[in-house]
Amino acid sequence: QVQLQASGPGLVKPSGTLSLTCAVSGDSISNNHWWSWLRQSPGKGLEWIGQIYHVGSPHYNPSLKSRVIISIDKSKNHFSLNLMSVTAADTAVYFCARASLHGLSLWGQGTLVTVSS
C-alpha cells in the first residue's frame, strides 16, 4: 500500500524558512509520477505549490516561485519543500501528493504549519 507522510516543524517564525519532507512508502520515487506539494488555508482555499519528477526541473506556482524550492532525494525515497521568507499568509495545512497524467491520485494526510513569532 502506497503512503505519503509529510513531516516538519509545525511552527515557523516570520521571515524564516518552512521546511517539510514527504516520505514515500510502497512506491519508488523514481517511478512515473510527479511528486507534488499543495496547501490549504481558509482564506485561499486549495493552492498548488509545485511538482517535481525524478529527472528534470521542478515546476512551481509563479506566485511562489521566487521563494520555493522542491527537491527530491532518491536515496531516501522522499521529496522536500522549502519555502523562504514566510509570513502569516503562509500559515496553512500543507499536503504532499502523487500525481499521474490524470490527477492527484494519492495524498498524504497533511501537516499544519503556523507562521508566528
Partner 1 sequence: DIVMTQSPDSLAVSLGERVTINCKSSQSLLYTSNNKNNLTWYQQKAGQPPKLLIYWASVRESGVPDRFWGSGSGTDFSLTISSLQAEDLAVYFCQQYDSIPHTFGQGTKLELK
Q: Smallest distance from the beta carbon of 9 to partner 1, in angstroms?
A: 20
Can you tell me which residue has the cell 512551481?
A: 60
User: What is the per-residue burial (b if ≥16 Cβ within 10 Å, else e) of 19-36?
Assistant: bbbbbbeeeebeeebbbb
Task: Please give the Cα distance from 4 to 21 (Å, whole number).
Answer: 10
12-71 binders of partner 1 (CB under 8 A)? 45-48, 59-63
Q: Smallest distance from the beta carbon of 90 to partner 1, in angstroms?
A: 16
Q: Smallest distance from the beta carbon of 23 to partner 1, in angstroms?
A: 15
Task: Please give the Cα distance from 36 to 16 (Å, whole number).
Answer: 22
Among 23, 69, 84, 104, binds partner 1 (CB under 8 A): 104
What residue ranges bind partner 1 (CB under 8 A)?
45-48, 59-63, 95, 97, 99, 102-105, 107-110
